[in-house]
Chain A
């Protein structure tokens, strides 16, 4: 793995507004990398500083070992798929795709035409070259934007919320296609998204950003299972938080968890350094379970009362009150054969396991 893009101490100010705060980041060649965060967190600004569409106020952006200071967007080995796709409405599909080849004197007209055909074929738009671009559907515009960027064989392809304008079905289809395309061309992809599911599905690594800072940088599984803060845990999926009191820190950690009692967890279940005393224990809804009549378990049980039921078809989400905890526990249950949907007020037993806890400061 070789580093392709390195950011060191990158800061960006808009007047008094501090949009990027001391960003240090390395992105590897051939990686599918995502910048994930709520709107206004600086992820698009960060992408645009890599593209050269924004200057950095302070710090260094290196691409392929070269300092990009003073190198404008048109001279950088990056190409971008814009959120609005920015398909030139006065040009045909083929003219759009060939736009970046204008200054390539080494290519004949026929060479360029062949390259355009290949690029269109790669994104599944063979035969669309002569079409007027303003008559395309959203999905087709996105494919044209991809072909237009990839035809220049950039070192990095930047994607700014490329799927946000598509409907759910189309979005899921394009996720798979983008992954396949990235494996096929082997180019580094950097994706900006606010959709955690999209980031988890597509990325090799994800940087979660809040307020101009990177909150956590990890592969999708680590990010989901071992979030390093409450806000990362809350932004990616759902998580129940229980008050905890750390007693002993050694090879294992001894901790009192509200409602669950004294447990002993592994050191790796605390992603950040802990101190003795007050802490928070997080547990994902799908790692808890309700013990239905006729089911058995070897895990631990605790009594609870159903407080709220939300039926999703394939899943049912329960809020279950347990003794000693103010907030009811959110529990996700698959609606397997024979499982009823419980009524509010039902007395029930909650299955839990200390291996699914994550301890946060």
Chain B
């Protein structure tokens, strides 16, 4: 019982900042502080007309979509190899691929900056950010896809081959439909991580900033803070919708594979 009270208190701690977001997004004052002064939707209106913000959002969306696709492709390779094959020094290779999970982001950022700018003398662009984001998202994708591939009976694909399908069409007809929910939730999570990532993007972005980099810029000007609140509110709502879709898909995948649900993602 006391544990339940603690759990609820903990949830309040977790949600405390997020609850403030819509409050100040609709508050009719430029200073983010209490007491509240009145209801307004002006800040959302300002969002609609801010063209440099729109450019930053477009950048971030492009980066996040490419990251989602590429890291999920790499994740599929790793998860399938991990779940279905035995090969030399498997544990070592898998551990190496998962390593970015515990690598401080600033290390990823500065090491790639050194390689791109100082060693290869290349310019920074959205693609340098995508390259770094794929690196840090792939372990998350693998963690999610592992669940999907490990729930899969390895004889499924063999059965399809035994019934006349080639190795590739067996994968397409049997494995792919069964792991599809996992693939979609992997893409959604990579997309969300990339969309929100700031530390690496700050180091590696070229002339056009990503959305978090743009928000960082706004934070220095108190007058623009309510707009940031409005933007944050929209982002929170979008994240919740995306994550709910991912979770529902994961559950449907579990049900389809005939597995009992044992818990949430990750």
A–B contact, 8 Å CB criterion (strictly below): yes
* Cβ-defined partner of B256 (8 Å) among A82, A89, A148: A89
B178–A79 touching, CB < 8 Å? no
Label chain B's interface by main secondary structure: helix
Q: Tell me whether A142 is interfacial, beta carbon within 8 Å.
A: no
How does the 8 Å CB contact mask read for A59-82 relative to B, with 1 for contact and 0 for none?
000000000000011110011101
B155–A73 touching, CB < 8 Å? no
CB neighbours of A86 from chain B (8 A): 153, 155-156, 158-159
* Cβ-defined partner of B161 (8 Å) among A73, A89, A148, A149: A73
A72–B161 touching, CB < 8 Å? yes
Q: Tell me whether B163 is interfacial, beta carbon within 8 Å.
A: yes
Tell me whether A152 and B257 are in contact in the complex, defined as CB-CB below 8 angstroms, given that A82-B155, A86-B156 are known contacts: no
A99–B161 touching, CB < 8 Å? no
Nearest-Cβ distance from residue A259 to partner chain B, whole angstroms: 51
B156-171 residues with Cβ-Cβ distance < 8 A to A are 156, 158-167, 170
A90–B256 touching, CB < 8 Å? yes
Nearest-Cβ distance from residue A157 to partner chain B, whole angstroms: 11
Q: Tell me whether B174 is interfacial, beta carbon within 8 Å.
A: yes
Q: Tell me whether A168 is interfacial, beta carbon within 8 Å.
A: no
* Cβ-defined partner of B162 (8 Å) among A53, A88, A102, A103: A53
Q: Tell me whether A51 is interfacial, beta carbon within 8 Å.
A: yes
Task: Look across to chain B and name the residue whose beta carbon is closest to the beta carbon of A148.
Answer: B163
Q: With the chains together, A305 CA to B257 CA distance in Å? A: 59
CB neighbours of A89 from chain B (8 A): 178, 256-258
A88–B156 touching, CB < 8 Å? yes
* Cβ-defined partner of B164 (8 Å) among A53, A74, A83, A134: A74
Task: Look across to chain A and name the residue whose beta carbon is closest to the beta carbon of B257.
Answer: A89
Task: Look across to chain B and name the residue whose beta carbon is closest to the beta carbon of A75.
Answer: B164
Nearest-Cβ distance from residue B102 to partner chain A, whole angstroms: 32
B258–A78 touching, CB < 8 Å? no
Q: With the chains together, A207 CA to B161 CA distance in Å? A: 27
Nearest-Cβ distance from residue A77 to partner chain B, whole angstroms: 11
* Cβ-defined partner of A90 (8 Å) among B153, B161, B165, B178: B178
* Cβ-defined partner of A100 (8 Å) among B153, B156, B163: B163
CB neighbours of A75 from chain B (8 A): 164
Tell me whether A88 and B161 are in contact in the complex, defined as CB-CB below 8 angstroms, given that A74-B166, A134-B258 are known contacts: no
Nearest-Cβ distance from residue A162 to partner chain B, whole angstroms: 12
Tell me whether A80 and B159 are in contact in the complex, defined as CB-CB below 8 angstroms, given that A90-B177, A100-B164, A152-B164 are known contacts: yes
Q: With the chains together, A51 CA to B164 CA distance in Å? A: 11
Task: Look across to chain B and name the residue whose beta carbon is closest to the beta carbon of A134.
Answer: B258
Task: Look across to chain B and name the residue whose beta carbon is closest to the beta carbon of A136.
Answer: B258
Q: With the chains together, A51 CA to B170 CA distance in Å? A: 16
A326-351 residues with Cβ-Cβ distance < 8 A to B are none
B256–A134 touching, CB < 8 Å? yes
Q: Tell me whether A6 is interfacial, beta carbon within 8 Å.
A: no
Q: With the chains together, A135 CA to B149 CA distance in Å? A: 21
A203-241 residues with Cβ-Cβ distance < 8 A to B are none
Q: Tell me whether A266 is interfacial, beta carbon within 8 Å.
A: no
B164–A82 touching, CB < 8 Å? no
* Cβ-defined partner of B158 (8 Å) among A73, A102, A149: A73
Q: With the chains together, A86 CA to B162 CA distance in Å? A: 11
Task: Look across to chain A and name the residue whose beta carbon is closest to the beta carbon of B167.
Answer: A72
Q: Tell me whether A84 is interfacial, beta carbon within 8 Å.
A: yes
* Cβ-defined partner of A74 (8 Å) among B165, B174, B257, B258: B165
CB neighbours of B153 from chain A (8 A): 84, 86
How does the 8 Å CB contact mask read for B202-219 relative to A, with 1 for contact and 0 for none?
000000000000000000
B162–A99 touching, CB < 8 Å? no
A245-301 residues with Cβ-Cβ distance < 8 A to B are none
Nearest-Cβ distance from residue B83 to partner chain A, whole angstroms: 15
CB neighbours of B159 from chain A (8 A): 80, 82, 86, 88
A78–B162 touching, CB < 8 Å? yes
CB neighbours of A72 from chain B (8 A): 161, 166-167
Nearest-Cβ distance from residue A14 to partner chain B, whole angstroms: 9
Q: With the chains together, A75 CA to B163 CA distance in Å? A: 9
B258–A79 touching, CB < 8 Å? no
Task: Look across to chain B and name the residue whose beta carbon is closest to the beta carbon of A76.
Answer: B162
CB neighbours of B156 from chain A (8 A): 86, 88
A176-227 residues with Cβ-Cβ distance < 8 A to B are none
B178–A74 touching, CB < 8 Å? no
Q: With the chains together, A73 CA to B164 CA distance in Å? A: 7
Task: Look across to chain A and name the residue whose beta carbon is closest to the beta carbon of B258.
Answer: A134
B163–A79 touching, CB < 8 Å? yes
Q: With the chains together, A79 CA to B165 CA distance in Å? A: 12
B229-266 residues with Cβ-Cβ distance < 8 A to A are 256-258
B174–A88 touching, CB < 8 Å? yes
Q: With the chains together, A78 CA to B258 CA distance in Å? A: 28
Nearest-Cβ distance from residue A352 to partner chain B, whole angstroms: 49
CB neighbours of B160 from chain A (8 A): 88, 99
Nearest-Cβ distance from residue A141 to partner chain B, whole angstroms: 10
CB neighbours of B258 from chain A (8 A): 89, 134
CB neighbours of A100 from chain B (8 A): 163-164
Q: With the chains together, A52 CA to B177 CA distance in Å? A: 25
Tell me whether A84 and B162 are in contact in the complex, defined as CB-CB below 8 angstroms, given that A89-B256, A89-B257 are known contacts: no
Q: With the chains together, A88 CA to B171 CA distance in Å? A: 12
B176-222 residues with Cβ-Cβ distance < 8 A to A are 177-178
What are 17 A-B interface contacts by the 8 Å CB criterion? A51-B162, A52-B162, A72-B167, A74-B163, A74-B166, A80-B159, A80-B162, A82-B155, A84-B153, A86-B155, A88-B156, A88-B159, A89-B258, A99-B163, A102-B164, A134-B256, A152-B163
In the complex, the 9 A-B pairs of residues with the closest C-beta atoms, listed nearest first: A100-B163, A134-B258, A86-B159, A86-B155, A82-B155, A73-B161, A80-B162, A74-B164, A89-B258
